[in-house]
Amino acid sequence: MANVKLTNVVKVYDGNVVAVHDFNLDIKDKEFVVFVGPSGCGKSTTLRMIAGLEEISGGTVEIDGEVVNDLQPKDRDIAMVFQNYALYPHMSVYDNIAFSLRLKKMPEDEVYERVTRAADILGITEYLMRKPRALSGGQRQRVAIGRAMVRDSKVFLMDEPLSNLDAKLRNQMRAEIILLRQKLNTTFVYVTHDQTEAMTLGDRIVIMKDGYIQQVGTPTEVFDMPKNLFVAEFIGAPKMNIMETRLFRENGKWFVSPFGVKVPVEGEKGEALTKERVGEQDILLGIRPEHITLSFQGGAGLIPCSLEVNEMMGSELHLHVTTEDGSRLIVRVPTLGLSNEERKALRQGAKLFLGFESKALHFFSKETENNLLVKE
């Protein structure tokens, strides 16, 4: 129940390897913030600096208005869940959860009450007397969460808590974390490399790469308005299609010409380009696979291509197509929107035509890879 403020935080290892550069972030009270990025981007290091497990090389970390740079982890009033659970193997589940409370010299009655309440919420009451090794991965993770829960600490830190679980269990636990968050109503900082987790859990997402923050925003913001090419490709699966093309104006209207096909940029996006005084230039054009419209007949502004691979995902198809110049794109099509004939026609080598809707287009500078429409 506190805000966390990171100001100019820097982490340098062994005097020369910089893991985190000038990290600034204000996490509000009761906010759920997710750090996401590829491995080695500094997200875990940042979390561990908040926890006090890593020394802070520069800048300040404040919890609830107090600078905690020099405080031991035990004095920061935080709870943390680790990727590998880090349960104490020699203690029963009950003792694991009660460990922190007993260290605080809490009376046994209250310990009992808190542990059983947490176990109840997490559905692990029947395992309380077992040792961690007699539990499955999902149960162990619940115990780890329970251990963090009973403490009623100011901040709840989670370091890739679902990475060791199988896909099905991960989905289930993800939903449970959302429920847990509603019950606990405290500040959460969550680290993951999985963009789905980031999108579904976070109030705000911090996307990191090579120790730098790439973008901070709500899931909708980072999805709709990625600040640069990295964010655009990182968020969303399958990833955004990127193609080199030219952005130009004709008679006051904006156009792009992917694969030699002149596609008009109309509506909001066109107006925005004008408003932001974007100049004609070579750009990287981005469009998400689910935003490409598919048709079997050619027409103005449609890009001809041929189907290479048709991946049936159940509710949707992932079509890998090749354009005339050999570039590969991915198109996501919901199966429900297709007639049986159309589904049959989607064979390898089928001729298809792709439509790019203006509002789904993203324009990135070829030089800086920044989104032309997102300003600092």
Partner 1 sequence: MKANENTSLKQHMGMKAKTRISNTVIYIILVIMSIIWLFPFVSIVLQSFRGGPVKGMTNEIIPSIWSLENYVALAKTDFFRWYLNTLIMALVVSVLQTVIVLCMSYTLSRFRFKMRKGLMRFMLILGMFPGMLTMIILYRVLKDLGLTQANAVPGLILVYVASSGMGYYVSKGFFDTIPKSLDEAARIDGATRAQVLTKIILPLAKPIVIYTILTSFMAPWGDFVFARYISFGASKGMNVAVGLFNWLSKDQINSSYTMFCAGGVIVAIPVTIIFMCLQKYYVEGVTGGAVKG
15 binds partner 1 (CB under 8 A): no
- Centroid of chain to Cα 103: 35
Q: Is 288 in the site for partner 1 (CB under 8 A)?
A: no
Report in angstroms how near the CB of residue 295 gets to partner 1 at its nearest.
Answer: 53
CB closer to partner 1 out of 72 and 315: 72
354 binds partner 1 (CB under 8 A): no
At residue 343, what is the residue type?
Answer: R
Q: Please tell me whether residue 104 binds partner 1 under the rule CB under 8 A.
A: yes
100 lies in the site for partner 1, by CB under 8 A: yes
Q: Determine which residue in the list 16, 70, 109, 133 makes contact with partner 1, applying CB under 8 A.
A: 133
Residue 99 sits in the site that holds partner 1 (CB under 8 A): yes
DSSP 151: T
Rounded distance, CA 374 to CA 356, Å?
20
The least CB distance from residue 78 to partner 1, in Å, is 6
Of 147 and 170, nearer to partner 1 (C-beta) is 147
User: Is 299 near partner 1 (CB under 8 A)?
Assistant: no
What one-letter code names the amino acid at 266? Answer: E
Residue number, 42 or 258, with CB nearest to partner 1: 42
The token pair that represents 137 in the structure block = 């991965």
The 3-state DSSP class for residue 50 equals: helix
Work out whether the CA dihedral 48, 53, 57, 58 comes out positive or negative.
positive
Q: Is residue 212 involved in binding partner 1 (CB under 8 A)? A: no
Q: How many helices (H) and strands (E) does the chain have?
A: 10, 20
Where in 68-87 is the site for partner 1 (CB under 8 A)?
Answer: 72-74, 78-80, 82, 84-87
What is the rounded CA–CA span in Å between residue 125 and residue 123? 6
Applying CB under 8 A, among 10, 53, 225, 346 the residue interacting with partner 1 is 53
Of the pair 15, 314, the CB lying nearest partner 1 is at: 15
13 binds partner 1 (CB under 8 A): no
Nearest residue (CB) to partner 1, 97 versus 231: 97
Comparing CB distances to partner 1, the nearer of 105 and 347 is 105
* CB closer to partner 1, 78 vs 256: 78
Helix (H, G, I), strand (E, B) or coil at 369: coil
Q: Is 103 in the site for partner 1 (CB under 8 A)?
A: yes
Taking the least distance from each CB to partner 1, the nearer of 82 and 223 is: 82
Among 151, 193, 288, 362, which residue sits at the site for partner 1 (rule: CB under 8 A)? 151
Of 128, 93, 5, 92, which is closest to residue 56 (Cα–Cα)?
5
The least distance separating partner 1 from the CB of residue 82, rounded to whole angstroms, comes to 5
Under the binding rule (CB under 8 A), the answer on residue 332 touching partner 1 is: no
- Report CA torsion sign: 355, 242, 248, 364: positive
Count of positions on this chain that bind partner 1 (CB under 8 A): 24
Provide φ and ψ at 274, rounded to 5°.
Answer: -65, -45
Distance of alpha carbon 288 from alpha carbon 329, whole angstroms: 10
Q: Indicate the SS3 state at residue 28.
A: coil
Q: φ and ψ at 78, to 5 degrees?
A: -125, 160
Residue among 15, 89, 314, 326 that touches partner 1 (CB under 8 A)? 89
Closer CB to partner 1, 73 or 355, in the complex: 73
Question: Residue 43 or residue 151: which is nearer to partner 1 going by CB?
Answer: 151
Q: What are the φ/ψ torsions at residue 208 (nearest 5 degrees)?
A: -120, 150
User: Per this entry, what is the length of the chain?
Assistant: 376
Stretch that binds partner 1, among 47-55, 274-282, 287-295, 317-325 (CB under 8 A): 47-55
- Report H helices in 13-136: 43-51, 93-103, 108-122
- Exposed / middle / buried, residue 46 (Cβ in 10 Å: 0-12, 13-18, 19+): buried
Interface residues with partner 1 (CB under 8 A) are 51-53, 72-74, 78-80, 82, 84-90, 99-100, 103-104, 133, 147, 151
